Structure 1
Amino acid sequence: MNKPAKTATRQHTPFFMNGVLVEPDALRLSGGKTDCGVEPKVMALLVALSERTGQLWTRDELVGRIWAGEAASDEALTRIVYLLRKALKAVAADADAVRTVPRLGYRLDGEVWAADDKADVMQSRTAHFPPFSVAVLPIVDVSAGGDGRLLADGLTRDLTMLLARTPQFRVAPHSSAARFSANAPGMAEIGRALHARYLVSATLARLDNTVSIRVDLSDAAEGVLLWAEKYHTAFDRFFEVEEDVVCSITTAIAAKVNVTQPVRVRRTGRFNLSAYERVQAAEALRLNYGRENARKIVGMLHEALAIEPADPVTRAALAVQLSQNVVSQWTDDPAATISQADDLITESLAAAPNDPEVRAAAGIVATMFHRPDHAIAHLEIATARNPNDAHALAVLGWQLCLRHSDPGGIGLIETAEARAPHHPRFGLWATYRATAHLFMLNYAEGLIGARDAIARTPNYYQPHLTCAWAHSGLGDTASAKREIQLARELESGNILEKFIDEMYRWSKNSPHFRQTGEILQIMGETGQGASE
């Protein structure tokens, strides 16, 4: 259970937060062998959050506390939240502990104690790990001839997803954990890199119509094995085995931290190996995303649905891909593609209205088709049921900025970026952050986001046009013209006109519709000059 840092924090005495030594008077954070200085208001924010761990601080409460009656904007608070997360990351702490509560404020998820309540943090092997933090390492296929590779990849993703839906658990993104092998030396180092105290590792062997799985749960901080089990089953019980594994893992971790066992999460539906492998192959293609792979993803998901037509999650995934193809101008008949995506997501919601993956997909489809109110409603449900879904969090933040000019949305996008820097959509999130700022008329911040997006996805045209939009807002016509030209070199045709039309349609849902339209018009005129 979290203990408050005593009222001593108001008297500026040092305290620990998730293993980081906080020295308010010195304006310093220390973790491991690294320390970091912070601004006074950043320290005031951390001290305030630490006084009520796990509880909401509204934006108004924080502004009143930190600025003590002085005038301060939402943007000013968003800035110091960003700086605090950056400082925590610099000392190898969990920046994600500072959570954005959409449209309300912030809270601190973690353990806080006064400096004299416990031994020196450097003597504690567990201090750097949140109590319910877990990562699923890549499951190793030991089948003859590698016949179980896609099955092992799918099991890794499924266990990550099911654990992420478990209340209280903080689960490392699959895209981050995939960099590590269970056989690599230094489990403690892997745990620290993933901010995960508990590591799940497994082997899988496929033989004809059966599968054998061995699963281990280790405590990376203490270097001990907590639980291990072997399963041998037919494919038609594959989802049941997944459920049993997740239940055993959550029970073992709950017993370790001495709390009531979290709610059991169930996976519904019938398992079909051929359909399952096609879905996993489609997901793998996202790691090298582009027009051709987008086409292949659609084909594989259609094949999976032909085998298992009633699967709502596959229907939802196909709807998302089709909606993204419309926005990327990768479809010959946008109207027909929109209709198909809408039908798929409607069927998915009817079949599985409480599934967070389906809800997230519904939110993303609504986002792509310029329906921000529907998008926000679906995404708020999805992130409440699976707070570890970084992509849903990023899209929600983007939509909040667009629809309500809510700077708290930037915090959600930045949380996703900090949580899952190896996610296949990591580059896209920088574009979300950039356009979110631009819809709020923050052109300098939008330019920073656009440049980040270019660095992450150098062969994609949209970040260059987003950069040109920011330059147009800043009055830098020459730079805007240069970025437009770079975008045209990456994507042929009248791509500028299509981009402006798409952004103009999104901006109709923004409080700053008129100002945004004026800047987009300037950008279009600049593009005409660049082509002459």
Structure 2
Amino acid sequence: MRYLFEDYTFDTDRRELHRETDAVSITPQVFDLLDYLIRNRERVVSKDDLIKAIWNGRSVSDAALTTRLNAARGAIGDSGEQQRFIKTLPRKGFRFVGQVREARDVAGPNPGDAPESAPAVPDKPSIAVLPFANMSGDPEQEYFADGMVDEITTALSRFKGLFVIARNSSFTFKGKAVDIKEVGRRLGVRYVLEGAVRKASGKVRITGRLFEAATGTHIWADRFERDMTDIFALQDDVTLAVVSAIRPKLFQAELALASRRRPEDFTAYDLYLRAIQQIGPATREGLAEGLRLVQRALELDPRFAAAAALAGACHAENVVRNYAIDPRFERKEAVRLMRLALSLDDGDPDSLATAALISALMIGDCETEIEMSDRAVALNPNSYRTWNCRGWVYKIAGQPEEAIRSFERAMRISPVDLQQFTVLTGMGFALIELRRFDEAISAGKKAQRHNPCYPGPYRCLASAFAHLGRDAEAREAAARMLEIDPAFTISAWIARSQLSKTAKLMIKGFRKAGLPE
């Protein structure tokens, strides 16, 4: 087993700790201490637990234990003051609180989180677009390079003759030296595109290389350069070249269909890219900054539909995640911006899917929302976002079987997605309503391992455990959830959104688990 957190790889088989590609010196006892804390990261570990596990129950002084803990923290760039990874809970014990991903299939410090089994390669041409290197000499331009990859991936995904891996899975390889064959195996694709972006002196240059994944054979390479004002034409150039290399007979007309309606103001587009980068982790601070940036983009280009949809999603997230200071205002803004996005462009799949989910959460007009989400996946069946949103829409509409099918499709499109905890949580919620409680627990545990700081999986676990009469585990999951969301009450959760409308068994489980009314 390998555990990955930030830029560290903790290999339990080789008993090695790496920071990126560099080995970190660590004594056997400190390694065992870290191993025990990471393996038991779902709970608080007491001093007695550590002594029993590491010292076989021998008498150990507090000073000796503190010394080993400090050594463990030091090995992973932590300290007693920061406690980024190992947190001390006074009079209770210790807990590993870093976000950990597990990798089973590949030995050594490789990027990404390997799926439990490699997905099958689809019959039709399939491709993953790896993160492009930022060659601008300015780390602050990283968001721009990422944005170029995002746009090219989106454009490729609109070709219904292709199967395209979502960017979140491709981005698990960011900043790492990769084996093209291994990328293809992990993601289940036939082709891999890699490249670099240079932005300087009013120009943008993109270099790209296309590989056949099974053999690692280099089959195409080219360089594209345009003025900054022609950025969208540059993206189309790259997309058409890649498609032509894979499917020479695809028509130019299909490329026109694949191109989204672009903003008129480049600065607005730049702000939009920055906002996406901020919003990704869905923290309170990130959503606030992302909303500020995307609002500025809308001021510069009031007809920028994707920006309106993103702003609406930020407001909806604030309501659902209990971040909102004024929930009534944020709810109204979410709906207003959703409607604005649809009035500007109701043919962009991702914006349409986002609008469907906002409406499902804030309004609850099931028939309309299902029609919108179905249309979004029809427009782009390769979009992770459209399938994920469709899953939540169908869950809220009281059709959990169809919700699960959508979530499964999303996970195939993005098999090692760092945001997969949201899909797994949705699956867990749907499984509870189908009384498939054991499967809901499995989904909840996987979601919790992907992101231990996200409250949704603990809600799923608390309810599912309670339905199975596993009261101690239900209470523990409820307590963990309340640590993350201390203001949670059942009534407040019901009032936040339409998510609770078809969650009768979920809510019944909450009550059995002893969550506050």
TM-score by length of 2: 0.70
Tell me the distance in 2 between the aligned counterparts of 1:181 and 1:507.
37
SS at the partner of 2:463?
Answer: helix
After superposing the two structures, state which structure 1 stretch, 151-160 or 200-209, moved more: 200-209
Q: Does residue 248 in structure 1 map to residue 241 in structure 2?
A: yes
On the 8 A contact 1:239/1:271 being kept in 2, the answer is no
Alignment-derived partner of residue 345 in structure 1:
338
Unaligned segments of structure 1, at least 5 residues: 1-88, 98-108, 111-130
When residues 296 and 426 of structure 1 are mapped into structure 2, their CA distance, relative to the original with a 3 A threshold, is same
Which aligned pairs between 1:92-491 and structure 2 lie closer than 5 A?
Answer: 92-94=118-120, 110=123, 131-146=124-139, 148-180=141-173, 184=177, 186-255=179-248, 263-264=254-255, 265-270=258-263, 272-369=265-362, 371=364, 372-491=366-485
When residues 276 and 479 of structure 1 are mapped into structure 2, their CA distance, relative to the original with a 3 A threshold, is same
- Could you tell me which amino acid in structure 2 is paired with residue 487 of structure 1? M
Q: What is the CA deviation profile of residues 236-287 of structure 1, one whole-angstrom value per residue up to 9, with x for unaligned ones?
A: 21111211221222122113xx777782122332454433333223222345
When residues 226 and 208 of structure 1 are mapped into structure 2, their CA distance, relative to the original with a 3 A threshold, is same
When residues 313 and 405 of structure 1 are mapped into structure 2, their CA distance, relative to the original with a 3 A threshold, is closer
Cα deviation for residue 302 of structure 1 reads 1.6
Tell me the distance in 2 between the aligned counterparts of 1:423 and 1:435.
19
- Could you tell me which amino acid in structure 1 is paired with residue 458 of structure 2? H
After superposing the two structures, state which structure 1 stretch, 191-200 or 315-324, moved more: 191-200
Tell me the distance in 1 between the aligned counterparts of 2:225 and 2:190.
28
Cα deviation for residue 379 of structure 1 reads 1.3
Which aligned pairs between 1:4-153 and structure 2 lie closer than 5 A?
Answer: 92-94=118-120, 110=123, 131-146=124-139, 148-153=141-146
SS at the partner of 2:515?
Answer: helix
Alignment-derived partner of residue 44 in structure 1:
none
Alignment-derived partner of residue 112 in structure 2:
none
On the 8 A contact 1:197/1:221 being kept in 2, the answer is yes
SS at the partner of 2:325?
Answer: coil
Tell me the distance in 1 between the aligned counterparts of 2:216 and 2:465.
52
Cα deviation for residue 346 of structure 1 reads 0.9
Tell me the distance in 1 between the aligned counterparts of 2:198 and 2:275.
22
When residues 340 and 182 of structure 1 are mapped into structure 2, their CA distance, relative to the original with a 3 A threshold, is closer
TM-score by length of 1: 0.68
Cα deviation for residue 139 of structure 1 reads 1.5
Tell me the distance in 2 between the aligned counterparts of 1:469 and 1:516.
6
On the 8 A contact 2:275/2:294 being kept in 1, the answer is yes
Tell me the distance in 1 between the aligned counterparts of 2:297 and 2:241.
30
Q: What is the CA deviation profile of residues 154-210 of structure 1, one whole-angstrom value per residue up to 9, with x for unaligned ones?
A: 101100011011111111221222233699463233322332222222222222222
Tell me the distance in 1 between the aligned counterparts of 2:388 and 2:456.
17
When residues 191 and 271 of structure 1 are mapped into structure 2, their CA distance, relative to the original with a 3 A threshold, is farther
SS at the partner of 2:173?
Answer: coil
When residues 209 and 90 of structure 1 are mapped into structure 2, their CA distance, relative to the original with a 3 A threshold, is closer
Q: What is the CA deviation profile of residues 44-67 of structure 1, one whole-angstrom value per residue up to 9, with x for unaligned ones?
A: xxxxxxxxxxxxxxxxxxxxxxxx
On the 8 A contact 1:395/1:432 being kept in 2, the answer is no
Task: Count how many residue pairs are aligned between Structure 1 and Structure 2.
Answer: 400
When residues 469 and 502 of structure 1 are mapped into structure 2, their CA distance, relative to the original with a 3 A threshold, is farther
Cα deviation for residue 433 of structure 1 reads 0.8
Q: Does residue 527 in structure 1 map to residue 502 in structure 2?
A: no
- Could you tell me which amino acid in structure 1 is paired with residue 205 of structure 2? S
- Could you tell me which amino acid in structure 2 is paired with residue 140 of structure 1? A
Q: What is the CA deviation profile of residues 423-474 of structure 1, one whole-angstrom value per residue up to 9, with x for unaligned ones?
A: 3431111211111112233333222222222222212233222222223322
Percent identity among equivalent residues? Answer: 22
Tell me the distance in 1 between the aligned counterparts of 2:430 and 2:189.
31
Cα deviation for residue 499 of structure 1 reads 2.5
SS at the partner of 1:417?
Answer: helix
Tell me the distance in 2 between the aligned counterparts of 1:330 and 1:409.
26
Q: What is the CA deviation profile of residues 56-114 of structure 1, one whole-angstrom value per residue up to 9, with x for unaligned ones?
A: xxxxxxxxxxxxxxxxxxxxxxxxxxxxxxxxx766342xx7xxxxxxxxxxx53xxxx
After superposing the two structures, state which structure 1 stretch, 181-190 or 161-170, moved more: 181-190
SS at the partner of 2:381?
Answer: coil
Unaligned segments of structure 2, at least 5 residues: 1-114
Cα deviation for residue 224 of structure 1 reads 4.1
After superposing the two structures, state which structure 1 stretch, 450-459 or 280-289, moved more: 280-289
- Could you tell me which amino acid in structure 2 is paired with residue 347 of structure 1? L
Tell me the distance in 1 between the aligned counterparts of 2:458 and 2:252.
49
Tell me the distance in 1 between the aligned counterparts of 2:303 and 2:262.
9
SS at the partner of 1:231?
Answer: strand
